Chain A
């Protein structure tokens, strides 16, 4: 609509002023009169019977207002899940199933009173054998955790087509096992909740650090036996999410229950150590991968058997993460025969759930590693093996053997651009020279794709894949927008304002975007699965379209012309064929509220609420290439170069796209080299603080050279695909491939991630 000035521009974020002066309101920043605090008594064992709980001393502790155990909360239902699992009650009764499992809650008048009280609760445990190794667990060993889940298997996924012929006729067959270690998301803001029950109104408000308040409201209503209209959920400023803030948590339910029971607002803010046990973790898969290929390097078949570690319970996405893996096991390659079978295994660990990439990084790591192994086997360049197998441009929309329709792609052009920027051929020469001198220099490539924009309603576990927007002209001609998505760092106050400024021809500064509060936004589904722009954005477009249509009627009235003869351009309505005569959209907005002589014919007001249901998923892609060197004396990896050329379709905010890619790469490198949740065989969490769990610092991460190609999607009218998870999906295999390339002379085919110095030193020194 008119000349696009904001869309595609590198604009500074409008979120930032409040954040850089310390004026934002995260959940823990809020204090209410009469506010109480919760502290939890959590299991110190991975698996144990609770023989007794003595709460007498805690109850008598100064400032303690209540102590509650599982039996007190039988009036709330177990937590929901995408596929039914074991009953996950707000507080465990009789048995604990993971370190951090909730045994009791203590409510105090201050944070200190609550913590002091919790320390006085005496729990008598009887330790039981812990189920840790997923393959042993799937044989029912050492014990079966739940009577109704034979051999600890919660569900079995079986996807794809018949691969037997491909393997029977294969000239080359390669097999490899891969481990995708458990990770902790570690947003810098841990979870935090504040609940208030208004007795007079019988209404509940929950402020919580969450990615999708409307979905949470639906789940909370079901758990609490409350109708949704009496519940308000607010995600205020949220300090990062990365997936684990999608699901509903026990602490949210308990806070609501206590607020209602005691008639006081109640708050809890997770400590970092709690976060590492109580917040869902990511990944946790291991897979046996087999590919069939011709001697020329054409992959003809792919077969994977996997075990996915659910942890002790299913939360919302837990049991469905393997589906996201299975759907894209072939990655960017036209492999005709593909099969994926995955056992969902229940263990004595914290439940897993979505973490940046959620199932897709696992798939891409495997196929990208196999491409490198095939290149070694056939003595080919890794980029040439990839090129040989790419889905060709003319094959789009591409119907994959796993049942997806890939929207659009141009993989070869993208890879060639990355190679050119990287200086691939020269870097290979440099590598050869360095290796000749005994240095361990490696170059790694990954050509990835992923699934984004969740995404048609049939494809998401909630059945709610659409999103919404309300766009309203205020009487003074400024615009208030409410979105159903819930950004928490992505910057959609900026992105959506850019879109609206262009669509309505108004100044960017005249727009306010509201989000994250079920009381003042249309029902929506939040920000996850790289869907904020790809699904929330088109809803904004639709709402602007409705506004323009109504505006034409009003402008027609004002200029005594038929609405059909009105055209809209750059913020002005004019009559076709009558140059010079026009009214601004601001004048139209004012008229919509003050046009007393018009309201007999045209309803007052100028606002629209629209919903967008995408017709398909979207499939961003890209090429990451890195060069690394391993210090033979210490095993440490240093980066020589990192190039990422991503294609997320049309870019609305290029600056923000780059930021998303930077952060995504950082987390992917974290998985490749540093991060790991570790449990011992008794189920004890070894990596329980940030002293033991390595979140990479600025010194561990490289400078990233970014560029992009632009292949728009036809799935939504913006042509945008989504970029939140892309960097994470592309970077892990890129770095692992580089490290393994550096170690090629050792003949070692695979090292389990994270590729820490000790492991690499051993590989180099044969120890």
Chain B
């Protein structure tokens, strides 16, 4: 069995975020990056499939040089190979463009299962998993919290609203978009990190994958106009007085709103 894991590198959750001078994205210099939290669960799910039997795990990421850190971490955690799409045009693509790149890799790799994170901590689109599944001609399930493979299919549990769970069966090949908290993500072991040095990382461009024309800023249909921090509104009201007085005022306010 071969599984492919799509990883995105995103700003570290503790990084201080400032909007870039031109307002197009955040200021990326001198901030730390990490693997998108959803993707770490996707990777763990894939590594469990590997632990359970014979599976080759290929991790794929689109992004600049810094992305090698994420790929090496994944290799240190136990993935076997990495594909790094390093191409400014690929970075400038919209979700569909990126899905096309990933689909081109899927076509070459022919994985039995593609694991993605449900969404990215930074962009919040949740767009790529279903697009990629469609482009790769695979059935897909989102919000997956566990997966179990048999010879021809995969049974997954999905998280629904209101604490409900759903069990779905998909034929292979298929794509699973994993929810956070699905499993306990392992740490890259020190031995694993040392071994990762010897594992292959293929570096490719969109042109190498035969999709050069279809991706990039020019082909993008969704364009980011600006990123901004919403202006602070001055609707906050400070309650003053002793604790008892504040509580009384607060209860009054809540009553006014008709919440109580």
Q: Do A and B come from one complex?
A: no
Interface residues of B (CB under 8 A from A): none
